[in-house]
Structure 1
Amino acid sequence: MLRPSLLILALCLSVSACKKGANQSASASASAQVTVQVTKEDYFTIENNALASGPVITGSIQPERKADLRAEVSAIVMQVMRENGEVVRKGDLLARLDDTSFRDQLASSEQAARAAQQTLDQAERQLERLKTLRASGMTSMQALEDAEIRRNNAQSELVAAKARVVAARQQVQRTEIRAPFDGIVSERKVSNGDTAQIGKEIMKVIDPTSLRFQGLVSAESVNVVKAGQSVSFRINGYDQQFVGKVRRVDPAANATTRQVEVLVDFVGSSQPKVSGLYAEGRIEAGSSQALTVMSGALVRDGDKTFVWALQDGLLKRLQITVGERDVRRGDYAVLSGLKAGDKVLRQPMSTFKDGSKVVMIPSAGATSASTTNAAVSASAAAGASSSSSANTPSASATGK
């Protein structure tokens, strides 16, 4: 005979087991009865589409118009007028170098040019006097020739002096770094007090409206790339697809990588605002017909790919095989697992259960429209009723 404590323990265990079994059966029945409500906007139909194909192109976004402004004289940087990212106009002063010595040279050259001009004027006057005296026979031919030589030497000295003035003035102008075209300062290289040697980079100016895609393609694919072909590519930092057109294919391959450079112009007004960003895309060298599936509908699990499809009123998790990606829309070609006419959910969720029942419901727009129409009809009916009651005379009024 069991002791009272063991009997009570056995009863408790049996009751808990019954409760656990009831809970499991309830959860099992609940999971079996899970339904998924779906609208027409939640799925799309698998069908044949044109699939663009072509070689992959990688590269960066670079401006066509860019200038590396360098020092043309050796001097101290006195002032920097512009910072990175500032908009500049053609001819704007960007930086100024110390021009003290160059202005002294200019003043000295101008003084030498004035002295040369005076010497020439004096030599010409002397020559004219000797010509007059020679006509009257009062001077020798040798004296006249010597005067002509002095005049010619004075002319040569004046030309040389003027050239030195021009050179000195150019040196003064070179102490002012100005913008060569309308653009943006992309990189400032110096600060006030720096020593600028000849050839030292001062600033970089780019034209943001002249950006283009400088890409590279493999030498094996260059035979199918031609000018005028469309290019779809993405730029690092931008969540959108850009479209371009091949302008030129470089006739020489890179000696190290054996890749060929391809220049691509942007098509349309959609362009990035920053240069130097990495870009990757595909050149549309051809197209073919294939079943396609949206990239957002794919579920990756290791090296396997799945989609959630609607079949016979149930939600099915199907394994599929995808091929190349369309460069224009981003869709993938379906190699196996789906057929034309299958319905696939656009946005799969981790809470979906394979075999769940699917219930089609009206879209939110249709529901709100029907609700609005019903409300308008009810309002109109109420208005008509109140209007008729107001127009009907009362019994007491008729009696009078």
Structure 2
Amino acid sequence: MPETDLSRLTIDRRPGTSPRRRNWKPWAIGAAVLLAIAFAVTHLSGEKVVETVSVTTAYPYQAATLLNAAGYVVAQRKASVASKATGRLEWLGVVEGSRVKQGDIIARVENRDMVAQVDQAAASVSSARAELADAQRAFDRSRDLAAKNYVSGSALDAAQARLDKARAGVAVAQANQRAAQVSVDQTLIRAPFDGVVLTKSANVGDVITPFSSASESKGAVVTMADMETLEVEADVSEVNLAKIRVGQPCEIQLDAFPEQRLRGVVSRTVPTVDRTKATVLVKVRFVDRDAGVLPEMSAKVAFLDKEPAADERQPLIAVAQEAIVERGGQSSLFVVAEGRLKLVAVQTGRKINDLVVVSGVKPGDRVVMNPAAGLSDGDRVRVEQK
């Protein structure tokens, strides 16, 4: 029997031979290198972390603001325009944005059968008038003959009855003609007031059934609004209702035009409270009108204590008080540009709520908020992300 080599079963305990120890060392070295790089980037380079805020614009009248509220632009005069008649839409003369005058024909439903009825009614009127003319002549002859005692009184009465019947026949024919014309007019969709077409709900070929919910049919053809009746509807908390009064001056800011301020005035309040939100709907009428204002735009309303003067409606450059620092006896701001600080001397002015009017910087500049004492001109910085 051959001898077995038991030395192969011996566990090798020499340093560096364990599989675990051979695997963790490269990872540990890599982590240490990454930490060293991060330390070098943030500390050895001298980069400092700062919080910034934008230089903005403010209006002096903001100091007289009693309350701010958000809402939407709503047209107080708005209509979904449809035909009273049921039929297929054969002509549509407007698109979204079209301006129309009251009474303008904006669409038409198929009406050839109704036009034929009008023609038929007109022919009936002509026939009735011819009968009336004949009855009038017969009556005139009977009257002349009766005056000479050539005909009896009963003959004259018969002529009078025929004349009255002919007159009634003309009236009936004319009424039928008017009814047929009304049916035709109901197929013509007219603008109910001066305004602008907001949406188009139907196209040529669609079946218009304003009083039905039939499948594949349309009710309203277009939706339009009177742009002269645009107002802002804002929800005001009921606890602040005492600060609102009819005729109160306001400033309206639209989210679509954030740099624009439009004058407004409180026109009315809806006399009920929304119990789910504990708010009252306040309607603000535009004093300054702009063609760019559209229904359903988001808006912010500042309810003012008094009507601002013309100079109070001019924007001023302002910044948060916490960004201003005193260096060398001069008010200054640390402006962040391309990762470095620039110390800019500024002149300070009046306070507008939490902002201070300054000169020497422009709106949109990023400045350091609450600058630390160790910051200086030219420092490399990294903006803290929040």
Q: TM-score range by the shorter chain?
A: 0.5 to 0.7
Identity within the alignment, %: 20
Match of 2:326 in 1: 310
Match of 2:169 in 1: 157
The two structures, once aligned, show a CA RMSD in angstroms of 4.3
Aligned equivalent of 1:297, options 297, 306, 319: 319
Aligned partners of 2:186 and 2:139: how far apart in 1? Answer: 41
Aligned equivalent of 2:245, options 195, 207, 226: 226
Aligned partners of 1:264 and 1:49: how far apart in 2? Answer: 18
Aligned equivalent of 1:354, options 366, 369, 372: 372
1:224 alignment partner AA = K
Instruction: Give secondary structure in 2 for the equivalent of 1:274.
Output: coil
In the alignment, is residue 175 of structure 1 matched against residue 192 of structure 2? no
Match of 1:263 in 2: 283
Match of 1:332 in 2: 353
1:234 alignment partner AA = Q
* Shift in Å, 1:136: 1.8
Contact 2:68 2:300 in 1 (8 A): yes
Aligned equivalent of 1:239, options 258, 270, 273: 258
* Shift in Å, 1:70: 1.0
Instruction: Give secondary structure in 1 for the equivalent of 2:125.
Output: helix
Q: Tell me the alpha carbon deviations over residues 107-140 of structure 1, each in whole angstroms, 9 at most, x when there is no partner.
A: 1111111121122222222221221222122333
Q: Tell me the alpha carbon deviations over residues 142-194 of structure 1, each in whole angstroms, 9 at most, x when there is no partner.
A: 33233323322222221221122122223223323234455432110111211
Aligned partners of 1:284 and 1:121: how far apart in 2? Answer: 76
Aligned equivalent of 2:224, options 205, 217, 225: 205
2:167 alignment partner AA = Q
Aligned partners of 2:108 and 2:56: how far apart in 1? Answer: 64
Superposed, 1:184-203 pairs within 5 Å as: 184-199=196-211, 200-203=219-222
Aligned partners of 1:116 and 1:210: how far apart in 2? Answer: 50
TM-score when normalising by structure 1: 0.60
Q: Tell me the alpha carbon deviations over residues 182-217 of structure 1, each in whole angstroms, 9 at most, x when there is no partner.
A: 543211011121111245211122343542223333
* Shift in Å, 1:231: 1.1
Aligned CA distance change for structure 1 residues 220 and 286 (closer, same or farther; 3 Å)? farther
Match of 1:248 in 2: 267
Gaps of 5+ in 2: 1-35, 49-54, 212-218, 308-315, 335-349, 378-386
Contact 2:232 2:283 in 1 (8 A): yes
Match of 2:293 in 1: 273
Aligned partners of 2:303 and 2:90: how far apart in 1? Answer: 50
Contact 2:262 2:289 in 1 (8 A): no
Match of 2:17 in 1: none
Instruction: Give secondary structure in 2 for the equivalent of 1:201.
Output: coil
Superposed, 1:372-387 pairs within 5 Å as: none
Contact 2:325 2:371 in 1 (8 A): no
Aligned CA distance change for structure 1 residues 252 and 30 (closer, same or farther; 3 Å)? closer
Superposed, 1:122-161 pairs within 5 Å as: 122-161=134-173
Contact 1:307 1:344 in 2 (8 A): no
1:253 alignment partner AA = T
Aligned CA distance change for structure 1 residues 351 and 262 (closer, same or farther; 3 Å)? closer
Contact 2:262 2:286 in 1 (8 A): yes
Aligned CA distance change for structure 1 residues 353 and 98 (closer, same or farther; 3 Å)? same
Match of 1:117 in 2: 129
1:137 alignment partner AA = N
Q: Tell me the alpha carbon deviations over residues 66-113 of structure 1, each in whole angstroms, 9 at most, x when there is no partner.
A: 332111111111122322223445555422210111111111111111
Contact 2:323 2:368 in 1 (8 A): no
